[in-house]
Amino acid sequence: MTINKIIAPFGTWKSPITANMIADTTIALVAVLVDGADIYWLEARPSEGGRVVLVRWTDEGPEDVLAPGYSARSLVHEYGGGAATVSSGTVFFVNFADQRIYRILPGAEPYPLTADNDDRYADMFHDASRDCLICVRERHAGDAVTNEIVAVDLVSGAPQTLVAGHDFVSNPRVSPDGQNLCWVGWDLPDMPWDAATLWVAPFEHDGSLGKPLRVAGGDGVSVFQPIWAPDGTLLFSADPEGWWNLHRWDGNQLTIVHAMAAEFGLPQWNFGMRTTDVDDAGLIVTTYTSDGVWYLAQIGALGLRAFDLPYTEISAPQWVGDKLVFIGASPRQAASLVVFDPISGNTDVLRNAMSVDLDLNNFSVPESVCFDTAGGGVAHGFYYPPHSASHAPAAGEIPPLIVRGHGGPTGVTVSTLSLAIQYWTSRGFAVLDVNYRGSTGFGRGYREALYGGWGKTDVEDMAHGAEYLVAAGKADPSRLAIRGGSAGGYTALAALVFCNTFSAGASLYGIGNLMTLARDTHKFESRYLDLLIGPLPETEQLYRDRSPIAHVDKFNCPVIFLQGSEDRVVPPNQAEAMVDALEERGIPVAYVLFENEGHGFRKAENVCRALECELAFYGRVFGFEPADELQYLNIRNL
């Protein structure tokens, strides 16, 4: 049936995808936990102030395990992760408000296990044979931050230090026979994806550890997610050949499980990240990414066999008996908790991150693009054309373009359904989501192509991506916006300063002063810039040269800043210094501060407000009237 669409300018289309809908009807599926035959998961709910709830699947459907007032969220490394585990029906979780570990016995209320102090915990493993919880502890004493692996006694709550001496540790896991502990450690200036080492040590009779053995990693090799197989061998991803491939250690020899030019690992920004599991018979299930698409596969005696599934992103796979549970998403399906039968091929969705049904005709389907960039390089991305089920442009009109840069910068963007992108495309914007050089998923060489070049290499790729679409007639050269959050916000600001491609920008908790970032940031990222830019103090001038705030005289277009008041990763003073400088120069600038928000917006009302402010901003600076009823936005100098 032919539908007569309303002809209207790009940017003015009325869309069923509202900011309130995104804030109120979507959740984030954070992690999957399996306890025997029981499936649990963590979900972050913007409608409850960003509370992270542990949920259990029952015969009647999902059931909240955490009552209101509790939120399972760790602050170790500031980014957290690994905030809950379940063992034989007993739940352990880190409560966000006080960072204490709480225990929930079956049928009982939560009660605190650890002391009420400034310690933080994450990445827990229940060691039933020693009646303790082995986990990562981060201790804050003034400006000093210490990260160790400890064993928390389940009776007294007293912690015993097991592993010390590394700047950072993760993945403490006890072997099936209870005799050994493995863990991953890394030290500054490396990030875990640069060089991380895998260690194994035997337990002594008193519960302490004997002499540790370095199994793999370090010296330019990264290790990700060690997991014990039932036969006592150790599986993990490592990248000695430039790709995170699966390896096995049998106690004596190290071998590669399956070699291919694909990534079986992830940049470990959070605890609890996983791509691999192994069942009681030793059958491996794993996810891997190639050319921006994720696959689910099993590895057995006949090698690797990928499953035919309708998902382009798959994460957190785990065995549940003879079935698998994972989080899957695609360009037309929001992230879902999926149970998959590898024998029959049947899938069952237990939970969907989006609780509202929308006509698929409203969704823009992304196109994978590669484009030439500076220095003879190639960059990757996903192009989303403007699309609406009810509206169309006048013949010959070319759409405005929003170029998005992901955070990290060691990160990646994927092609899965994002209402935060469809919000724009359904109103008549084109969107280019860029995996600039430095992104993950394309091997170590591509990941390290940003080293020494942050603020230059990524900017080149963002600008070349926009120009590629302009040349193809898919973007209006006079209405090119760049936006990003955190590291992506820095890229956006740097692009506005160091090239003349863009005519507007949006920085969400982005970085304006690299020297301030190096001085003020937290321990986990305290030496990150050594590789992205250069070591201090030797390269201090380069930091100043690459800082947008040092070049406010080069800004020639409007900018909006969206910032959380409690952000410790990128403190508000960076945004405020930029805003003041731009206002003084007469550049149109808007600044919206969100009280009690940290690095990223978690509360529904703030998620909504941020989107609507950005839309209002583009409407004013690009000269169109959005169909939405928006609050007034104060744009100084305009």
pLDDT in tens, 38-83: 999 999 998 898 899 999 999 999 999 999 999 999 999 999 999 9
Model pLDDT for residues 155-185, shown as the tens digit of each residue? 999 999 999 999 999 999 999 999 999 999 9
Give the three-state DSSP class for 253: coil
Q: What percent of the chain lies above the pLDDT cut of 70?
A: 100
Residue 165 placed within a domain: no
Instruction: For tokens 């209870």, name the residue.
Output: 178
pLDDT of residue 265: 97
Average pLDDT (364-373) is 96
Whether the per-residue pLDDT at 463 is higher than 90: the answer is: yes
CA distances from 581 to 130, 459, 514, 542 (A): 59, 22, 16, 21
Asked if residue 5 lies in contact with residue 388, where contact means CB atoms within 8 angstroms, the answer is: yes
Q: Mention every residue, 6+ apart, whose C-beta is less than 8 A from residue 59.
A: none
Q: Give the separation between CA 221 and CA 236, rounded to whole angstroms.
A: 12
Give the three-state DSSP class for 596: coil
pLDDT of residue 2: 61
Average pLDDT (218-247) is 97
Question: Radius of gyration of the chain from Cα atoms?
Answer: 24
pLDDT of residue 3: 72
Residue 366 placed within a domain: yes
CATH number at residue 475: 3.40.50.1820
pLDDT of residue 506: 97
Residue 259 placed within a domain: no
Tokens of 507: 């920085």
Model pLDDT for residues 301-323, shown as the tens digit of each residue? 889 999 999 999 999 999 999 99
For residue 455, which of 585, 393, 349, 543 has the smallest C-alpha distance? 543
pLDDT of residue 232: 96
Domain that holds residue 389: 11-17+358-516+542-622
Q: Give the separation between CA 445 and CA 439, rounded to whole angstroms.
A: 10
Give the three-state DSSP class for 128: helix
For residue 529, which of 512, 517, 541 has the smallest C-alpha distance? 517
Q: Give the separation between CA 560 and CA 613, rounded to whole angstroms.
A: 9
Residue 617 placed within a domain: yes
Average pLDDT (524-553) is 95
Q: Mention every residue, 6+ apart, whose C-beta is less than 8 A from residue 81.
A: 31, 74, 122, 123, 269, 270, 271, 272, 273
Q: What percent of the chain lies above the pLDDT cut of 90?
A: 87
Estimate the share of the chain in helix, then strand, then coil, as percent rounded to the nearest 5: 20, 35, 45
Average pLDDT (93-111) is 96
Average pLDDT (214-223) is 96
Give ∠ CA 58-63-68 in degrees, rounded to 5: 165
Kindly tell me the sign of the dihedral angle through the C-alpha atoms of 156, 161, 167, 171: negative
Q: Give the separation between CA 408 and CA 418, rounded to whole angstroms.
A: 19
Whether the per-residue pLDDT at 1 is higher than 60: the answer is: no
pLDDT of residue 544: 96
Tokens of 505: 């920008």
Q: Mention every residue, 6+ apart, whose C-beta is less than 8 A from residue 406.
A: 412, 413, 433, 434, 435, 439, 484, 487, 488
Tokens of 564: 């959380």
Give the three-state DSSP class for 145: strand
The count of structural domains within the chain is 1
Mean pLDDT, all residues of the chain:
95
Residues β-bridged to residue 428: none
Residue 635 placed within a domain: no
Provide the 8-state DSSP code for 450: G
Residue 379 placed within a domain: yes
Residue 547 placed within a domain: yes
pLDDT of residue 168: 98
pTM of the shown model: 0.92
CA distances from 75 to 118, 121, 183, 411 (A): 11, 8, 20, 20
Average pLDDT (256-285) is 96
Residue 402 placed within a domain: yes
pLDDT of residue 511: 87
On the CB side of 585, CA atoms within 13 Å amount to 20
pLDDT of residue 402: 98
Segment holding 573, helix H or strand E: helix 572-585
Distance, first Cα to last Cα, the chain: 46
Give the three-state DSSP class for 497: helix
- Helix/strand/coil (H/E/C) assignment for every residue in 2-49: CCCCEECCCCCCCCCCCHHHHHHHECEEEEEEEECCEEEEEEEEHHHC
Peptide bond into 342 cis (omega under 30): no
On the CB side of 626, CA atoms within 13 Å amount to 25
